[in-house]
């Protein structure tokens, strides 16, 4: 399995998808200049973006579940698999952590997240794949499914957005 990459997602693309699924996350006004980062991987030949969340106190109390993965026990945040969305290369920008951000503390966190994620990428991918398949096969607990984005609908909308159906 290739190395997982941190990517920034296109805000216009997220805004478009949010018209169809309100679970698509976005940065609040006070984080407007902070990039929307996550990891990129493939599920059944479809590229998916899973957003990262910075560490929060609540992460220490949460238990790993099928729809999210604590990064280093929550010390480095979580990967929100329930909020993963399909993307194409036009919707993302691969992040170069060596020179992209001025905030050294934030760069340090991203480097640590990236390192941990790549050391545990098989576990992460297995969870993402199981979540995706269980969603499609209607095998998820109702509460977990309610937390997830609508993967089939978003795949359709990703295709429409990126293949000229919506472009003038």
Instruction: Report the chain's mean pLDDT, rounded to a whole number.
Output: 85
Question: What residue spans define the domains of the chain?
Answer: 5-162
**Across 31-45, 48-62, 109-123, 143-157, least confident range:** 31-45
Q: Report pLDDT digits (tens) over 104-126.
A: 888 888 889 989 999 999 999 99
So what's the architecture of 5-162 in CATH? Roll (3.10)
Q: Report pLDDT digits (tens) over 50-79.
A: 988 888 888 888 888 899 999 999 999 999
pTM for the model? 0.85
C-beta of residue 48 within 8 angstroms of C-beta of residue 87:
yes
Integer CA distances (angstroms), 61 to 20, 57, 82, 116, 145, in order: 32, 7, 18, 20, 21
C-beta of residue 38 within 8 angstroms of C-beta of residue 24:
no
Q: What percent of the chain clears pLDDT 90, i.e. is strictly above it?
A: 51
All residues at 6 or more sequence positions from 135 whose CB lies less than 8 Å from its CB, including other chains:
145, 148, 151
Q: What percent of the chain clears pLDDT 70, i.e. is strictly above it?
A: 86
Q: Which of 114, 125, 122 is nearest to 72 (CA)?
A: 114
C-alpha 109/C-alpha 105 separation (Å) is: 6
pLDDT value, residue 165: 59
């Amino acid at each position: 399995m290739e190395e997982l990459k941190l990517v920034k997602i296109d805000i216009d693309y997220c805004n478009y998808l949010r018209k169809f699924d309100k679970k698509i996350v976005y940065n609040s006004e006070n984080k407007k200049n902070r990039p929307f980062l996550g990891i990129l991987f493939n599920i059944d030949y479809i590229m998916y973006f899973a957003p990262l969340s910075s560490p929060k106190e609540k992460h220490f109390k949460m238990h790993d579940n099928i729809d999210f993965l604590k990064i280093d026990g929550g010390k480095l945040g979580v990967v929100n698999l329930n909020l993963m969305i399909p993307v194409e290369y036009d919707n993302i920008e691969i992040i170069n952590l060596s020179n992209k951000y001025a905030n050294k503390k934030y760069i340090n966190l991203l480097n640590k997240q990236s390192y941990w994620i790549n050391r545990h990428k098989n576990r992460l991918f297995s969870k993402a794949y199981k979540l995706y398949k269980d969603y499609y096969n209607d095998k998820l607990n109702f509460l977990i499914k309610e937390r997830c984005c609508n993967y089939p609908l978003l795949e359709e909308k990703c295709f429409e957005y990126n293949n000229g159906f919506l472009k003038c």
